Amino acid sequence: MPEIKNANFIKSSTELKDCPTPHLPEYVFIGRSNVGKSSLINMLCNHKKLAKTSSTPGKTTLINHFLIDDSWYLVDLPGYGYARTSKVNRAAYKKMIFNYIENRRNLVNVFVLVDSRHTPQQVDLEFMEWLGKKRVPFSLVFTKLDKLSSSELVKNLQKYTRKFLEHWESLPKTFRTSSIAQTGKDDLTSYIQDLNEQVADHILESYQASKKQ
């Protein structure tokens, strides 16, 4: 069974240039504030308090790097679309995140988290559209599955799919998760580990080549 054994916080950065060296495969977790991102990261890493869960949305404001099993980086990005953040903050946030995502050379995949209970939100759809435009690979992660009955879940996912397909030709890879019920952990971990096997050597070589220049 795939399992994360070691997860360590490395650093918080405000800009791309301050991030750890890009020699390992990297995966981003992002979503609207309160979507359950910190809980999901903690579940994946078998750690109660690695990412800070909070009842105050919009608290994480930095690019947070965690080193997983000495072989890949998990990146916790601030929750977007939080209405109470000032306009200036929102603009600065967008600049920081977009610059990081667009230019981080070892970024393998972005996991976009959405609450299974909610209808597709404009801010999520716009963000995924931007990822598509920039050709950044992403997956959809439905969170808080335990809050719905299985029939409600089916209905909501159908609604989500319909809306998504108004903008896209097909659905990206999707995951269904609940941090409370520990759902989706193996799926996510194996997906990341499989990708790591495919890309790790290339990422390391390209980092070493860039250092020689």
Binding site for ligand GDP (CB under 6 A): 31, 33-39, 53-55, 57, 79, 143-144, 146-147, 178-180
Residue 87 Cβ vs ligand GDP, minimum distance, rounded to whole Å: 21
Q: Considering beta carbons, is residue 53 or 174 the nearer one to ligand GDP?
A: 53
Tokens coding 63: 């690019």
Closest CB 151 distance from ligand GDP, rounded Å: 18
Residue 74 or 203 with smaller CB distance to ligand GDP: 74
Nearer to ligand GDP, 20 or 57 (CB): 57
Considering the complex, state which of residue 19 and residue 77 has its C-beta at the smaller distance from ligand GDP.
77
User: What ranges in 29-168 are assigned the alpha helix state H?
Assistant: 37-44, 87-103, 122-133, 150-167
DSSP 36: S
Q: What are phi and psi of 108, to 5 degrees?
A: -100, -45
Residue 183 Cβ, how far from ligand GDP at the closest point, in Å? 8
Minimum CB distance to ligand GDP, residue 105 (Å): 26
Beta-strand relationship, 174-176 and 138-143: parallel
Rounded Cα distance between 199 and 44, Å, is 21
d(CA 174, CA 163): 15
